[in-house]
Structure 1
Amino acid sequence: MAALTLLTGASAPPPSVEAPSVEVGITGLRNMKGQVLVCLTTNPKAFPDCSKDKASVRMAVKATDAAHFKVVAPTAGTYAIAVVHDENSNNKMDVAIFLPKEGFGFSRNPTITVGPPSFKSASFAVTGDTSQSIKMKYMF
Structure 2
Amino acid sequence: MALLLMAASAPPPTVEVSVIGLRNTKGQILVCLTTNPKAFPDCSKDKGAVRMAVKAVDAGDFLIHAPAAGTYAIAVVHDENSNNKLDVAIFLPKEGFGFSRNPAITVGPPSFKSASFAVTGDMRQSIKMKYML
TM-score clears 0.5: yes
Among 72, 83, 87, the alignment partner of 2:65 is 72
The letter for the 1-side match of 2:74 is I
The runs of 5 or more residues in structure 2 that have no matched partner are none
Among 5, 14, 19, the alignment partner of 2:12 is 19
Number of equivalenced pairs: 130
Q: How far apart, CA to CA, are the structure 2 residues paired with 1:82 and 1:27?
A: 14
Matches within 5 A, 1:4-83: 14-15=5-6, 16-83=9-76
Q: How far apart, CA to CA, are the structure 2 residues paired with 1:21 and 1:97?
A: 37
- In structure 2, the residue corresponding to 1:75 is in which secondary structure? coil
Task: Please list every run of at least 4 consecutive aligned residues from structure 1 whose deviation after the TM superposition is greater than 3 angstroms.
Answer: none
Q: How far apart, CA to CA, are the structure 2 residues paired with 1:124 and 1:109?
A: 11
Q: How far apart, CA to CA, are the structure 2 residues paired with 1:98 and 1:53?
A: 24
Among 96, 107, 122, the alignment partner of 2:115 is 122
- In structure 1, the residue corresponding to 2:5 is in which secondary structure? coil
Q: What is the alpha-carbon root mean square deviation over aligned residues? A: 1.2
- In structure 2, the residue corresponding to 1:45 is in which secondary structure? helix
Q: How far apart, CA to CA, are the structure 2 residues paired with 1:131 and 1:41?
A: 16
TM-score calculated relative to the size of structure 1: 0.91
**Structure with the greater alpha carbon radius of gyration:** 1
Corresponding residue for residue 83 of structure 2: 90
1:25-64 Cα deviation digits (max 9, x unpaired): 0000000000000000000000000000000000000000
Q: How far apart, CA to CA, are the structure 2 residues paired with 1:106 and 1:59?
A: 15
- How far did residue 17 of structure 1 move? 1.1
Q: How far apart, CA to CA, are the structure 1 residues paired with 2:46 and 2:56?
A: 24
- In structure 2, the residue corresponding to 1:14 is in which secondary structure? helix
